[in-house]
């Protein structure tokens, strides 16, 4: 397999390249990237390779924006027609911030693709009203950025779609998903993100959220979970092990590709060894492990201490 080694310590290239530094923070998305495929994490975080916007992900961003903005209106005005009326304006805001999104809809179809896409977004927004009643909700937070630092020095950060607090003080964390609910055997993986958020809130506010709620607009399902302290402690141990695995891969340049059915959706197949590609030259100074062989730090990775963690998927270890 053709590889792209990084700069070697003591060489001119190493002087120019930054030294590999252990990651200082994790978000649910980046943690999931590493668990799904360590090489994907490298491409996104270390190499920062560009990715094309997708219609599905952009639709999700649009729907999230609409549901957030709906709560700017008085409770009595939070109706499905009002929510759908917000879609064009929020789409224009998205286009202003990311003009490249216009490429999702070629001019050749004379607007038919965009009209169909907006109609699909309307259907998702309308379905939300069959799952929750916004006239009875007064979120304490929307699109809430949270961050906390663990005793180890690892910072955890993320953005929570909605935080509800009952009169009793009980906290509910809500996340909207525009896709379909997972099968029961995959529910644990789907809850990883929510337990991550619950851990951050617990460490930040010393309060264990009463409920975690995933609202699946694609299928009309609601997945709930009531965490306890032991759940959050397990997630914390998992994240610390994950952080250590990422640190080791960062320093050694060993990032293992992990082929799955999700590879078909990946933007980086052209530079992935599993598809005959060659990763970019590793941009950081490699720190060889004691006793490592001459092939260490290949960039793509022929092995990594990350295996026990990443191989567990999104479920709890």
Model confidence at 142, pLDDT cuts 50, 70, 90, reads very high
* Band (277; pLDDT cuts 50, 70, 90): very high
Q: Which two tokens stand for residue 51?
A: 């990715």
Q: Which two tokens stand for residue 45?
A: 């975080």
Place 24 in a pLDDT band, splitting at 50, 70 and 90.
confident
pLDDT score at 305? 35
Q: Check residue 108 and give its pLDDT.
A: 66
Whole-number pLDDT of residue 16: 53
Token readout for 77 is 């005005």
Average confidence (pLDDT) over 127-153: 97
Question: What is the reported pLDDT for 291?
Answer: 61
State yes or no: pLDDT of 244 exceeds 80: yes
pTM, whole model, 2 decimals? 0.84
* Res. 290 pLDDT band, cuts 50 70 90: low
Mean pLDDT for the stretch of residues 43-67: 96
Given CATH 3.90.320.10, say whether it is the number of domain 141-235.
yes
Q: Quickly state the pLDDT bin for 14 (edges 50, 70, 90).
A: very low
**What is the arithmetic mean of pLDDT over 244-257?**
95
Where along the chain do the CATH 3.90.320.10 domains lie? 141-235
CA distance 220 to 43: 34
What is the predicted pLDDT for the residue at 152? 92
> Taking the CB of residue 295, how many other CB atoms lie within 10 A of it?
11
Please list, residue by residue across 258-275, b when 16 or more beta carbons sit within 10 angstroms of its beta carbon and e when fewer do: beeeebeebebeebbbee
Give pLDDT, residue 161: 98
**Mean pLDDT in residue range 203-229:** 98
Which regions of 7-75 does DSSP assign to beta strands (E)? 25-26
Residue 107 — pLDDT band, cuts 50, 70, 90? confident
For the chain, report the end-to-end CA distance as a whole number of angstroms: 32
Tell me what pLDDT residue 286 has. Answer: 84
Q: What is the pLDDT of residue 285?
A: 87
Tens digits of per-residue pLDDT, 77-90?
Answer: 999 999 999 999 99
Greater pLDDT, 90 or 20: 90
311 or 167, higher pLDDT: 167
User: Average pLDDT, stretch 220-247?
Assistant: 97
pLDDT at 298 over 50: no
């Amino acid at each position: 397999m053709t590889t792209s080694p990084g700069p070697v310590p003591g060489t001119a290239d190493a002087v120019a390249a930054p030294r590999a530094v252990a990651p200082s923070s994790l978000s649910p998305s980046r943690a999931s990237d590493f668990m799904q495929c360590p090489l994907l994490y490298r491409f996104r975080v270390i190499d920062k390779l560009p990715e094309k916007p997708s219609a599905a992900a952009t639709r999700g961003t649009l729907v999230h924006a609409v549901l957030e903005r709906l709560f700017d209106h008085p409770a009595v005005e939070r109706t499905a027609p009002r929510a759908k009326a917000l879609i064009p304006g929020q789409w224009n805001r998205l286009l202003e911030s990311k003009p490249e999104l216009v490429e999702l809809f070629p001019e050749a179809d004379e607007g038919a693709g965009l009209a169909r896409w907006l109609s699909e977004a309307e259907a998702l927004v309308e379905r939300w009203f069959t799952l929750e009643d916004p006239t009875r909700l007064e979120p304490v937070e929307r699109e809430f950025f949270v961050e906390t630092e663990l005793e180890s020095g690892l910072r955890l950060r993320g953005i929570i779609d909605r935080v509800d607090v009952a009169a009793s003080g009980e906290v509910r964390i809500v996340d909207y998903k525009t896709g379909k609910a997972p099968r029961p055997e995959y529910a644990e993986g789907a809850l990883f993100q929510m337990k991550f958020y619950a851990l951050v809130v617990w460490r930040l506010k010393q309060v264990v959220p009463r409920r975690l709620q995933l609202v699946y607009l694609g299928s009309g399902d609601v997945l709930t979970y009531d965490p306890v302290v032991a759940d959050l402690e397990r997630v914390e141990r998992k994240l610390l092990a994950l952080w250590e695995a990422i640190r080791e891969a960062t320093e050694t340049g060993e990032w293992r590709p992990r082929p799955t059915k999700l590879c078909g959706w990946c933007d980086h197949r052209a530079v992935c060894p599993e598809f005959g590609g060659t990763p970019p030259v590793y941009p950081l100074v490699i720190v060889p492990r004691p006793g490592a062989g001459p092939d260490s730090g290949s960039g793509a990775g022929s092995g990594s201490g990350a295996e026990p963690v990443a191989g567990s998927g999104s479920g709890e270890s």
